[in-house]
Amino acid sequence: MGTIVHAAYTDGRKSALSVKKPKVVFVLGGPGSGKGTQCANIVEHFGYTHLSAGDLLRAEISSGSENGTMIQNMISEGKIVPPEVTIKLLEKAIMESANDKFLIDGFPRNEENRATFEAVTGIVPEFVLFFDCSEEEMERRILNRNQGRVDDNINTIRKRFKVFVESSLAVINYYNSKGKVRKIDADKPVAEVFEAVKAVFTPVNGGKVNFCIDMVGCCVGAIQLS
Ligand X SMILES: Nc1ccn([C@@H]2O[C@H](COP(=O)(O)OP(=O)(O)O)[C@@H](O)[C@H]2O)c(=O)n1
- Let me know if 48 is exposed, middle or buried by CB neighbors in 10 A (0-12, 13-18, 19+): buried
How far is it between the farthest Cα atoms of the chain? 61
Tell whether the torsion through CA atoms of 145, 146, 147 and 149 is positive or negative.
Answer: positive
Q: Which of these, 49, 143, 150, lies nearest to 96 by C-alpha position? A: 49
Q: Using the rule CB under 6 A, is 50 a contact of ligand X?
A: no
Return the one option of Mg ion, ligand X, ligand ADP, none that residue 79 interacts with (CB less than 5 to 8 A, by type).
ligand X
Choose the stretch contacting ligand ADP; rule: CB under 6 A; options: 27-35, 77-85, 150-158, 161-169.
27-35
Q: Using the rule CB under 6 A, is 36 a contact of ligand X?
A: yes
Q: What is the CA radius of gyration of the chain?
A: 18
SS3 percent helix, strand, coil of the chain, rounded to 5, is: 50, 15, 35
Choose the stretch contacting ligand ADP; rule: CB under 6 A; options: 26-34, 67-75, 122-130, 159-167.
26-34
Return the one option of ligand X, Mg ion, ligand ADP, none that residue 34 interacts with (CB less than 5 to 8 A, by type).
ligand ADP
140 is in an annotated binding site: no
Q: How far is the CB of 50 from ligand X (least distance, A)?
A: 12
Residue 7 DSSP class: G
Return the one option of ligand ADP, ligand X, Mg ion, none that residue 37 interacts with (CB less than 5 to 8 A, by type).
ligand ADP
Q: Using the rule CB under 6 A, is 93 a contact of ligand X?
A: no
Among 75, 94, 181, 184, binds ligand X (CB under 6 A): 75
